[in-house]
């Protein structure tokens, strides 16, 4: 069993040494799996041969698993032809926003995209938006809530990140979060205040997290020094912690505790939501 797990991990890790995801990864994986299964079928009495074919099977499955993941994420990137163009998009706020007096940053699930009246079919499923008031035309940014349906005028770009040493790797973070683009909101129209279906479990949890954060913020003074830390410890909203506090946590070796608290909260909130169904 341990040998099979190690082979699966080795197969997935092999993809990391390749410059690109091979176009023929699926065909190669199917061919290798077929060879391994045939070997197990015709050499069923030879123990050593069985071990070899099991290792080969697990390596192929591990490689196919990571290749499918990477291929899907890489195809979810914004086309270069659409960078900087003003687009009209419709969809839902997909996660707990990072909101303050300067605006809001949030994940957005795309359903419809229009460019000059023409519908675009191939487009990223999720993007990361920033809505801030323009310095020439100050406007009050409305509160963005998980589950809301909006129509936005946006300008997008591919998820680029800074190359400064020890800086936040935005491009890597966007890849893991499945954000195919990032950009700014020019204007928005709220279409539906709450659009959360019965099976939208993850979105329902994000909405409950937003309600809890609002309640904590109402109870705390506006000038509370560690209000963001309290919110993060209670409900795992790591974006509420400012960068100065993060530097202190990382320097003292307790930064990982904030992440652990989020996973614990999410599991408890999931159990509570399931019990209400």
Residues spanned by the domain of 18: 2-74
Distance, CA of 265 to CA of 256 (rounded, Å) = 15
Residues 213 and 261 occupy one common structural domain: yes
Residues 70 and 7 occupy one common structural domain: yes
- Number of domains into which the chain is organized: 3
Residues 185 and 99 occupy one common structural domain: yes
User: 2-14 and 47-74 helices cross at what angle (nearest 10)?
Assistant: 40
Residues 95 and 66 occupy one common structural domain: no
- ∠ CA 92-204-145, rounded to 5°: 45
Residues 61 and 160 occupy one common structural domain: no
Residues 176 and 211 occupy one common structural domain: no
Residues 89 and 184 occupy one common structural domain: yes
pLDDT by residue for the chain (277 residues), tens only, comes to 788 889 899 988 988 888 888 888 888 889 988 988 888 887 766 677 788 888 889 999 999 999 998 888 888 889 888 898 999 999 999 988 887 767 888 999 999 998 888 888 889 989 999 998 765 555 678 889 999 999 999 999 998 877 777 777 888 888 888 899 999 998 888 998 888 888 888 888 888 888 888 888 888 877 776 777 777 777 767 767 777 777 777 788 776 666 665 555 555 555 554 555 5
Residues 152 and 213 occupy one common structural domain: no
Would you call 43 helix, strand, or coil by DSSP? coil
Residues 39 and 111 occupy one common structural domain: no
Which residue among 137, 165, 192 closes a domain? 192
Beta bridge partners of 150: 91, 190
Which residue among 161, 192, 223 closes a domain? 192
> What is the pTM (predicted TM-score) of this model?
0.76
Residues 187 and 93 occupy one common structural domain: yes
Which residue among 128, 157, 192 closes a domain? 192
Residues 143 and 186 occupy one common structural domain: yes
Q: Is 231 exposed, middle or buried (0-12, 13-18, 19+ CB in 10 A)?
A: buried
User: 201-219 and 255-276 helices cross at what angle (nearest 10)?
Assistant: 120
Residues 270 and 240 occupy one common structural domain: yes
């Amino acid at each position: 069993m341990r040998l099979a797990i190690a082979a699966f991990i080795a197969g997935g890790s092999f993809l990391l040494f390749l410059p690109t995801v091979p176009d023929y990864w699926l065909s190669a994986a199917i061919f290798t799996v077929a060879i391994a299964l045939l070997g197990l079928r015709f050499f069923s009495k030879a123990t050593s041969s069985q071990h070899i074919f099991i290792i080969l099977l697990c390596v192929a499955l591990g490689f196919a698993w990571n290749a499918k993941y990477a291929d899907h994420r890489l195809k979810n990137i914004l086309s270069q032809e659409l960078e900087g163009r003003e687009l009209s998009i419709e969809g839902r706020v997909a996660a707990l926003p990072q909101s303050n007096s300067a605006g809001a940053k949030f994940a957005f699930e795309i359903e419809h995209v229009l460019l000059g009246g023409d519908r675009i079919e191939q487009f990223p499923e999720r993007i990361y938006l920033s809505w801030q008031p323009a310095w020439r035309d100050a406007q009050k940014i409305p509160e963005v809530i998980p589950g809301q349906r909006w129509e936005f005028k946006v300008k997008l770009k591919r998820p680029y990140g800074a190359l400064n040493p020890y800086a936040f790797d935005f491009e890597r973070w966007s890849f893991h979060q499945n954000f195919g683009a990032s950009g700014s909101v020019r204007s928005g129209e709220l279409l539906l205040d709450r659009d959360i279906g019965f099976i939208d479990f993850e979105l329902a949890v994000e909405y409950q997290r937003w309600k809890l954060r609002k309640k904590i913020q109402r109870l705390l003074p506006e000038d509370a020094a560690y209000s963001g830390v309290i919110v993060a410890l209670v409900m795992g909203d790591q974006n509420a912690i400012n960068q100065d506090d993060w530097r202190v946590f990382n320097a003292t070796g307790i930064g990982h505790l904030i992440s652990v608290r989020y996973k614990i909260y999410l599991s408890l909130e999931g159990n509570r939501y399931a019990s209400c169904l």
